[in-house]
A and B are shown apart, each in its own frame.
Chain A
């Protein structure tokens, strides 16, 4: 079974401080990993995906297959980063199913 765990429900950091959101997954294969973000009163939107290997809004995430982790990092948090962040997993192409399996989410609060 596929599972995503986000151990922190809440992360509170000061503006300009680094922030790291942890994501661990369970899947017997090579899944696709995503980070979605939901700002206040907005819909869930894709932040980044591991196959793109890009930085979005200063965030990066590296897939560590050995540790089955996909932690999200930003070196200098901004107040506009305050939001709910969800890590998600999808089975690789051709495998059964196209569903996303989400973690429980981490609320990030960036204080001025």
Chain B
């Protein structure tokens, strides 16, 4: 499968714990995006990388959230001191570098904070 992959697919954690998610984009894609989707809503943009540079961050991305893409390949999204409101599906997408390229989504990581 050469699509976008995400790990883990599911995560259950207790409030206050830290969690980290990984996204592996399609290999030739240099743009990578993180979105969050809560129940009954469409995905909401969190942040975007072009190669290793984080070029845009949403106001949704509080100080407890940090994303990295150190070598311009895979990316990690860390949530520190999780809160129950962080429970959601976290989606990763990737695209080629051209402005008109479409974004391809991974299967998501479902987070449940107890």
Contacts and interface: CB of A to CB of B under 8 A. Distances in A.
Interface of A: 4, 6, 9, 32, 34, 36, 43-46, 49, 51, 86, 88, 93-94, 97-105
Contacts, number: 59
Contact of B43 (A6, A45, A100): A100
B72 interface: no
Contacts of A88: 42
Nearest to B107: A43
B98 to A, nearest CB: 8
- Chain B: interface size category: 20 to 34
A100 B107 CA distance: 17
A100 B41 contact: no
Interface string B73-109: 0000000000000000001010100011011111110
B99 A99 contact: no
Contact of A46 (B56, B91, B102): B102
9 contacts: A6-B42, A36-B105, A43-B106, A98-B56, A98-B95, A99-B45, A99-B58, A102-B43, A104-B41
Contacts of B33: 98-100
Nearest to B55: A98
Interface of B: 3-4, 31, 33, 35, 40-45, 48, 55-56, 58, 91, 93, 95, 99-100, 102-108
